[in-house]
């Protein structure tokens, strides 16, 4: 039977699938549901220092080829997630989970990271540099100068395994510039990609979500080619010590196969998890294993990053 086991930053996971931050991860009940599913791990909703109500509803809609959202980082605040993770470490010492966070300013981001550094948390931290939905706050990782400054300041005191969640980039020069910055730091992973920011979905004569007059992050089937391009572009450019988590457009085992072929070590499921619930992890894992068995692959390493080019 093929294995979908994987590793990130030296931590082992029984399965390479997990939720994408934002889906099934706001409350402890949702996180427990993902933990108890076929997923290999979970990531929390991106935490800020204080709880946030987020943007007005309706702020998330499934649409035929994916989803649009402008949630605006609703969350229960860092202490809620950190306390739960610390408790979970005692209950499940052999498993590793991800804590997502970002501040409403660089200074708040450092307060959050210092809190994690000083805590007993021994899992993986994902710094979300890519939320497109907070009015007046641009996606941080589109500003290379600010990104480099935040990472430089963070690594002066942060010694735990840290990765970053990235927005999609669309230009080869931007892949080059972003990778050159990321390669300066002891990052453990980059997560490609967050939603494609600020799309518009129109039904009849109106937008379908309330915040920002309908502008929102696009997920699902629409974004797989962009996600794969980002995974592969960073696989080609980053130091081998920086692993890649692939996120975007995962509906089937074939989609996971493609993310891994492009270089991902772990793959996150967002819109499909929202549409289907945690049984999606079992279905997608079985589909991936069937593809691996058919091709004679026993482990993800047999095909990870081995995307073929045409001559």
Residue 230 assigned to a binding site: no
Q: Do residues 212 and 133 lie in contact, with contact meaning Cβ atoms separated by under 8 Å? A: yes
How many angstroms separate the CA atoms of 167 and 189, rounded?
14
Of the residues 131, 192, 235, 262, only one is catalytic, namely 131
Q: Do residues 164 and 190 lie in contact, with contact meaning Cβ atoms separated by under 8 Å? A: yes
Beta strands in the chain (DSSP E): 6-8, 11-13, 17-19, 60-63, 66-69, 98-101, 124-128, 162-166, 189-192, 196-200, 202-203, 206-207, 215-219, 243-247, 266-269
User: Cis peptide before 58, with omega less than 30 degrees from 0?
Assistant: yes
How many angstroms separate the CA atoms of 141 and 277, rounded?
30
Residue 128 assigned to a binding site: yes
Q: Please choose, from the candidates 138, 259, 127, the residue with its C-alpha nearest in 3D space to the C-alpha of residue 197.
A: 138
Residue 46 assigned to a binding site: yes
**Nearest approach, Cβ of residue 222 and ligand SIN (Å):** 15
> Which is closer to ligand SIN, CB of 4 or CB of 133?
133
Chain residues binding ligand SIN by CB under 6 A are 22, 46, 71-73, 128, 130-133, 194-195, 217
**Nearest approach, Cβ of residue 119 and ligand SIN (Å):** 22
Specify whether 131 is catalytic.
yes
**Nearest approach, Cβ of residue 11 and ligand SIN (Å):** 23
Residue 263 assigned to a binding site: no
Residue 72 assigned to a binding site: yes
Residue 271 assigned to a binding site: yes
**Nearest approach, Cβ of residue 102 and ligand SIN (Å):** 8
Q: Do residues 70 and 137 lie in contact, with contact meaning Cβ atoms separated by under 8 Å? A: no
> Which is closer to ligand SIN, CB of 40 or CB of 219?
219
**Nearest approach, Cβ of residue 211 and ligand SIN (Å):** 9
Joined tokens for residue 109:
């981001």
> Which is closer to ligand SIN, CB of 128 or CB of 272?
128
> Which is closer to ligand SIN, CB of 41 or CB of 75?
75
> Which is closer to ligand SIN, CB of 24 or CB of 261?
24
How many angstroms separate the CA atoms of 22 and 165, rounded?
12
> Which parts are annotated binding residues for FMN?
45-46, 128, 165, 193, 220, 248-249, 270-271
> Which parts are annotated binding residues?
45-46, 69-73, 128, 165, 193-195, 220, 248-249, 270-271
Catalytically active residues are: 131
């Amino acid at each position: 039977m093929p294995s979908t086991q994987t590793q990130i930053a030296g931590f082992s996971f029984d399965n390479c699938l997990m939720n994408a931050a934002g889906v099934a991860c706001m409350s402890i009940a949702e996180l427990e549901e993902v933990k108890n599913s076929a997923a290999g791990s979970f990531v929390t909703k991106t935490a800020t220092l204080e709880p946030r109500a987020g943007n007005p509803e309706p702020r998330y809609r499934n649409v035929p080829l994916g989803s649009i959202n402008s949630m605006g980082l609703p969350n229960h605040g860092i202490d809620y997630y950190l306390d739960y993770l610390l408790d979970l470490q005692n209950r499940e010492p052999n498993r590793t989970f991800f804590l997502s966070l970002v501040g409403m300013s660089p200074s708040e981001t450092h307060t959050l990271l210092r809190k994690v550094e000083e805590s007993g948390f021994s899992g993986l931290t994902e710094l979300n540099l890519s939320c497109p939905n907070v009015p007046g706050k641009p996606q941080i990782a589109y500003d290379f100068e600010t990104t480099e400054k935040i990472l430089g300041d963070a690594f002066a005191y942060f010694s735990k395994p840290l990765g970053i969640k990235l927005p999609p980039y669309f230009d080869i020069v931007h892949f080059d510039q972003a990778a050159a910055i990321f390669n300066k730091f002891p990052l453990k992973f980059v997560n490609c990609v967050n939603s494609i920011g600020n799309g518009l979905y129109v039904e009849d004569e109106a937008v379908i979500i309330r915040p920002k007059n309908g502008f929102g992050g696009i997920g699902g089937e629409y974004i797989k080619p962009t996600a794969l391009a980002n995974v592969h572009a960073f696989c080609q450019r980053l130091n081998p010590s920086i692993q890649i988590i692939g996120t975007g457009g995962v509906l089937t085992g074939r989609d996971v196969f493609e993310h891994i072929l492009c270089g991902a070590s772990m793959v996150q499921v967002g819109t499909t998890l929202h549409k289907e619930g945690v049984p999606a992890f079992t279905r997608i894992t079985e589909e991936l294993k069937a593809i691996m068995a058919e091709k004679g692959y026993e482990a993800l390493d047999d095909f990870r990053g081995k995307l073929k080019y045409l001559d």
